[in-house]
Structure 1
Amino acid sequence: MGVSNNITAILNFIAFLASIPIIAAGIWLASKPDNECTHYFRWPVVILGFLILLVSLAGFVGAYWNKQGLLAFYLICMAILIALLLILLIFAFTVTRQDGTYSVPGRGYKEYRIDGFSQWLRDHVTSSDNWGKIRSCLAESNVCARLTQNYITSDQFFSANISPLQSGCCKPPTACGFNYVNPTLWVNPANQLADPDCLLWSNDQSLLCYNCNSCKAGLLGNLRKEWRKVNVILIVAVVVLIWVYVIACSAFKNAQTEDLFRRYKQGWV
């Protein structure tokens, strides 16, 4: 195995290692309740991570055993995968750029407005065609049930840093003026505001605020928060993969040159 192939093998091992955090980030995303219910963002990162892992292994085998055809296949496939990863990263940044978060005085948690998020997210995640299934899925999860286990008094709950999904779906909006009994049980005030979410709130544990715009906004807030974390991992991985790919291309050309030179010497002798 020539020097260039040695370098390519090492580079592919680095690419293999870079695929592991991508897969881990994808699995972390897929395990979240909001992604389990939306399905849109659940598997792309995992699939890309596994493809990068497999292609890196193919490149390692091609370099170690000097299989030029396999190395060429690796370079083509890796270029496509890096491009797809960049597209996914740019798309994720674009649709999560807008933020519908606003602070509530005297509360540790934040609340969310649906019109503060990108139009694409609103159209594809919280449209009337999709929300029925998402709502049912959220109601069957333990997202809200965990609140009653973790917080007892109103002081504990009001100072808690709960997730956007819990803030939007498990309690009525603060502006409604409901009186706290427990995190998912609230007493209606005598004079409710005209906000539709105030009228949609129900103490029925299968309903709560799952029909509210605040719940839709909380779901979008959760997706945004999670993807912002994953984007950091994807940026680092893309930088490493591009660096590996550029050097691997140079090493592949050098390996071909070394192979031609070796054949020339054998023919000369």
Structure 2
Amino acid sequence: MVRVSNNLVGLLNIVTLLLSIPILGAGIWLGHRAHTDCEKFLERPVIFLGVFLLLVSLAGLVGACCGVSWLLWLYLLVMFLLIVVLFCFTVFAFVVTNPGAGEVVSGRGYKEYRLGDYSHWLQKRVDDDGNWRKIRSCLQEGKVCQRMEERNQTLDEFINNHLSPIQSGCCKPPTACNFTYRSETVWDKPSGFASSTNSDCNTWQNDPSILCYDCQSCKAGVLANVKNDWKKVAVVNIIFLIFLIVVYSVGCCAFRNNRNDNAHPRWKGGYA
């Protein structure tokens, strides 16, 4: 007789299997229409996640419901490794995102961001040319600055406005540059301006395809977003870890049931 724990593992893996299909489909769809670095950057992890969930759920489903002990053992091994990796990532996320915060600018409704305030590990990630090219592509395709420009605000309205870290870091020059405001993404450099000790002032261009996308402040704004997102992900991971531990425990019961069924006649089986 099939045990309760086996049925439960099978049910959970049916749900996971059904979830993996749209995830894998989304990855394949992205792969067919990926023309930019941003789309290609998103495509691979989505396909990997879909395939991973599909294979693991199939192993758990067949192993639990068909009494295939070696598949269930493999399923439990993967689950154990996933728990360890997820635990390590959660701790790592809290550690690397601990430093770094926006600086309040006097008389402004928004904050500004400095790359040096964030962990060295995160700084190296955004300073890498290959990584930044992909991130920059995503920022441009997301039209964050273009949407901000559509507000058509006066200077007073703009300086009292709340800006996201990316809008503050990528769509305008730093306040310390003392550029003259024309619109949200158009700022005039002072007459006679040659260069500044602040590299972002030299990098800024009114060209919509350039703006401050290569500024240190833009990279810092991205890291501010990453920090906020990773904090949320870390909290979700804790909840997910508890769920995985429960599933792993039930899976261990199912594995024990399989071993008992293989060692003894089925009429001696009970419920677990």
Q: TM-score range by the shorter chain?
A: 0.7 to 0.9
1:84 match = 85
Q: Is the 8 A contact 1:55 1:74 kept in 2?
A: yes
Is the 2:79–2:248 Cα contact (8 Å) retained in structure 1? yes
Gapped regions of structure 1 (runs ≥ 5): none
Contact (CA 8 Å) 1:38, 1:134: kept in 2 or not?
A: no
* Offset of residue 77 of structure 1: 2.0
2:235 aligned with 1:199: no
Structure 2 counterpart of 1:115, which letter? G
Are residue 117 (structure 1) and residue 118 (structure 2) matched? yes
Alignment-derived partner of residue 34 in structure 2: none
Q: CA deviation at 1:113?
A: 0.7
Q: When the two structures are superposed, what TM-score results if normalisation uses the length of structure 1?
A: 0.76
Moved beyond 6 Å, runs of 4+: none
Let me know the Cα RMSD of the aligned residues.
3.7
Paired with 2:239 and 2:96, the residues of 1 have a C-alpha distance of 20
Q: Which amino acid aligns with 1:36?
A: C
Change (3 A) 1:173 1:108: same
Deviation at 1:259, TM superposition (A): 4.5
Q: Select which of 210, 216, 225 maps to 2:219.
A: 216
Find the residue that maps to 1:257 and give its secondary structure. helix
1:232 pairs, out of 235, 241, 245, with 235
Identity %: 45
1:36 aligns with 2:38: yes
TM-score after normalising by structure 2: 0.75
Give me the whole-angstrom Cα distance separating, in 2, the residues matched to 1:230 and 1:151.
35
Secondary structure, in 3 states, of the residue corresponding to 1:226?
A: helix
CA deviations on 1:158-193 (whole Å, 9 max, x unpaired) are 333322122111101122233322110123346976
Post-superposition Cα deviations, 1:199-222, rounded to whole Å, max 9, x if no partner, equal 332222222222322122112222
For residue 117 of structure 1, report the CA deviation from its aligned partner: 0.7
Deviates further, 47-56 or 115-124: 47-56
* 1:108–1:160 CA contact under 8 A, matched in 2: yes
What letter is aligned with 2:98?
Answer: R
Instruction: State the Cα distance separating 1:139 from its structure 2 match.
Output: 4.9
Checking the alignment, whether the CA contact within 8 Å between 2:111 and 2:165 is kept in structure 1 is: yes
Q: Tell me the equivalent position of 2:253.
A: 250
